[in-house]
Amino acid sequence: MKEYFKRLWCAIWASTEVDEKAAAALKEVKARLSNVRRELADVKKAATTPTTKKKTGKKPYYKNKKKKTNNNTTKK
């Protein structure tokens, strides 16, 4: 797939003038830049959105520790 695009790119560049090549490259860069900006905005939105789903499952060990008390002593 990569090789196909490489050959296609070379064929397109071989059939155009230098100015047309520069204009096409600029247009391509602008299109890619706008796509990258949109994707980064989506990633930022997804990363900052808090989850509302309550976590289920076993709690960590340190939260299950119960302090032992010795309430069964008898007074004399």
**How many Å apart are CA 62 and CA 39, to the nearest integer?**
39
Q: Is the pTM for the entire model greater than 0.75?
A: no
Query: Is pLDDT at 70 greater than 90 in this prediction?
Result: no
Average pLDDT, the chain: 78
Q: What are the pLDDT digits (tens) for 21-30?
A: 888 889 999 9
The answer on pLDDT for 76 being more than 60 is no
Question: pLDDT tens-digit profile of 36-63?
Answer: 999 999 988 888 766 666 666 666 666 5
Q: What is the pLDDT of residue 27?
A: 92
Q: Which residues of 40-64 are buried (b: 16+ CB within 10 A; e: fewer)?
A: eeeeeeeeeeeeeeeeeeeeeeeee
How is residue 3 written in tokens?
Answer: 């090789």
- List alpha helices for the chain, DSSP H: 2-14, 18-48, 61-64
Residue 58 is given by DSSP the state: P
